[in-house]
Amino acid sequence: MLDISDLHVEVDGTEKLHDINLHIGQGETHILMGPNGSGKSTLLKAIMGFGGYTITSGSIVFKGTDITRMPIHERAHLGIGMMFQHPPAISGLKLGKLLGATSHLGNDAIEALAQTVNMEHFLARDTNVGFSGGEIKRSEVLQLKVQQPDFLMLDEPESGVDLENMGLMGKEIANLLEKDVHIVNRRRSGLIITHTGYILDYLEADQGHVLIDGRIRCHGNPREILRVVKEKGYGECLRCKQM
Amino acid sequence: MSALQTDVGDIERLPEKDRERLALTGLEVGMQNRCGSFFQIDQNVIQTTCGAEGIEMIPIKAALEKYDWVGDYYWNAVSRDKDKYTQYLAKQENPQGLVVIAHEGVKVEMPLQACLFLRDEPVQHVHNLFIAREGSEINIISGCASSWQKEHGAHIGVTEIYVGKGAKVTSTMIHNWNPGISVFPRSATVVEEDGTFLSNYVCMQPVNRIDMYPTARLVGKNAVARFSSIVVATPGSTLDLGSRAILGAENASAELITRAITTGGTIISRGHILGEKDNTRGHIECKGLILKDGVVHAIPEIEGTLTGTELSHEAAVGKIARHEIEYLMARGLSEEEATATIIRGFLDVKISGLPAVLQEQIDAAIDKAESGF
């Protein structure tokens, strides 16, 4: 579904990602770990196509189409969706209106989806304005439930979420990734940035990657990577044989 | 229905283009959602009709003749000598304009419309009085427009509004001028005890110059004033706008809210709240968006003269944040759609207590302008 080859990305004239190679197949969920500032969010934003993240070489191919230079909204139309860690608050733009503008769903359908993540009372509120950490995440999940992307990028879905909300979030993210569908028929793929690995309590991931200083240092079983990082820190990944 | 003059035919005979322009300012010829109507073309009053019990709409000359006491309100809130524009109006032998009287305790939610249309004369002059007596409630929508083919001209208007004890006046004004028209409204409102004055102003079409600084004097305890302005300055337009509230009685409060967008014109957004009595509160909020080269100059002033007043202001001027546009693009909107969606949100100042029909009118004016962004 997603093929990233030899990707180099610059931010403000400095190369932040070096020679990234990543292949995510249809139906697969990958976990991306790494210390703060290692370039995890940069990678997601480069895949989404945000300005300020300049691809100096390499390519991103999604569903067989080279999207390296494609505008953000066309990538969204192709089926890429993103859950933001720090989405902007947009005054005056009601969440319900935003959901209506980005889909063909009617008000009733939007209301029904909102109820599944306890957001029905937020539809008449300005998007993300004054939302708590958990509310922001639920708003993001709701937007993705409306958007129905084939490939989901989740930037730290656990951060700022209390335990009760984490249960709901985990279940909803698992649904978005079609974890209830047999692996043979599963179409949706995902790339999840996590520091804690809590998300793995709610869904299985197929592969893990560790990003350090803008380079992917190792690939492997996500639970094993998580265990090694918990026990020995990221330094162990630098010594990883799979480099 | 009392009708001093009703010649709807004159309105219906206006060219289609002019009728469209007037419709955008809220004029409903068929009066489906209006309980009274006043229509003045240049200096000629061509319609005054009011079907609401206890509400009178009368041309100003007739009102001054009918009721002696109306004279007490005439040039009272606004001084004849305020500036050259008021002096010009004071000199007119044939004052034109509208008097609305809401008699004691009469509450009507359905708006009254007052339409001022500049067509043939170089200058239109208007003097309006809105008098809401004790316990009454009225909504007035004033639409001011110029004919589509009017290249140059000026509109000079004085509006004096009196909100009696426990009364409520909602005044919504929508402007739709041409690039060569200059406009000089001179308005003032006096709000008595427990009275509420809501003023909404919308101007989103090209104009040469608009210059106004309406003042609300809150003279009775618990009086409330709220001014909301939504304006767009296109290239060549200069909008020098402000609103002032004088908190002259205990527990009075005021809020001045402005959303200003420039697509190349100049907006000066002034605001002044003076807190001079105990337990008074005031807030000024001005947000300006510069879409293309232009000027938004916010000048909020808050002035307190004793410890018991609480005043604040916030002003922000800038462009649309790139990350907001990209956020919406990541949800599938094109850059243009994302920009328009954010602008629409920026302008979305919901005004509490505004009847739905008036909110729809404001929304329609915004939607119309939005297609030009």
Taking the C-alpha atoms of residue A173 and residue A227, their distance in angstroms, rounded to an integer, is 22
pLDDT band at B35 (very low <50, low <70, confident <90, very high): confident
Partner residues linked to B255 by β-bridges: B226, B283
Mean pLDDT of the residues in chain B: 91
Q: What is the DSSP letter of A44?
A: H
Of the ranges A160-164, B321-325, B359-363, which is most confident?
A: B321-325
Please determine, for residue B7, whether its predicted confidence score (pLDDT) is greater than 60: no
Check CB contact under 8 Å for B342 and A147. no
Query: Does any CB of chain A come closer than 8 Å to the CB of residue B352?
Result: no
Share of chain A above pLDDT 90, in %: 73
Helix (H) or strand (E) holding A136: helix A133-147
Taking the C-alpha atoms of residue A73 and residue B331, their distance in angstroms, rounded to an integer, is 7
- At B164-211, the pLDDT tens digits run 999 999 999 999 999 999 999 999 999 999 999 999 998 988 999 999
Taking the C-alpha atoms of residue B22 and residue B35, their distance in angstroms, rounded to an integer, is 18
Query: Does any CB of chain B come closer than 8 Å to the CB of residue A205?
Result: no
Q: Which residues in B lie closer than 8 A to residue A82 (C-beta atoms)?
A: 330
**Could you tell me which residues come within 8 angstroms of residue B105 by beta carbon, excluding any fewer than 6 positions away?**
B54, B134, B135, B136
Q: What is the structure's pLDDT at B3?
A: 40
Cβ distance B76 to B163 under 8 Å? no
Architecture of domain A2-85+149-238: 3-Layer(aba) Sandwich (3.40)
Query: Does any CB of chain B come closer than 8 Å to the CB of residue A124?
Result: no
Please determine, for residue B1, whether its predicted confidence score (pLDDT) is greater than 50: no
Q: Which of B330, B333, B345 lies nearest to residue A48, judging by beta carbons?
A: B330
Q: How far is B21 from chain A (nearest CA, A)?
A: 27
Domains of chain A, by residue range, sit at: 2-85+149-238
Which tokens in the block code for residue A126?
A: 């300005």
- At A93-151, the pLDDT tens digits run 999 999 998 888 888 999 999 999 999 999 999 999 999 989 999 999 999 999 999 99
Residue A66: alpha-carbon gap to chain centroid: 20
Mean pLDDT of all residues in A39-64: 96
Which tokens in the block code for residue B339?
A: 């920009």
Please determine, for residue A243, whether its predicted confidence score (pLDDT) is greater than 90: no
- At B99-129, the pLDDT tens digits run 999 999 999 988 999 999 999 999 999 999 9
Question: Which backbone phi and psi does B320 adopt, to 5 degrees?
Answer: -70, 130
What is the interface pTM, i.e. ipTM, of the complex? Answer: 0.95
Is residue B263 helix, strand or coil?
coil
Q: What is the C-alpha R_g of chain A?
A: 18
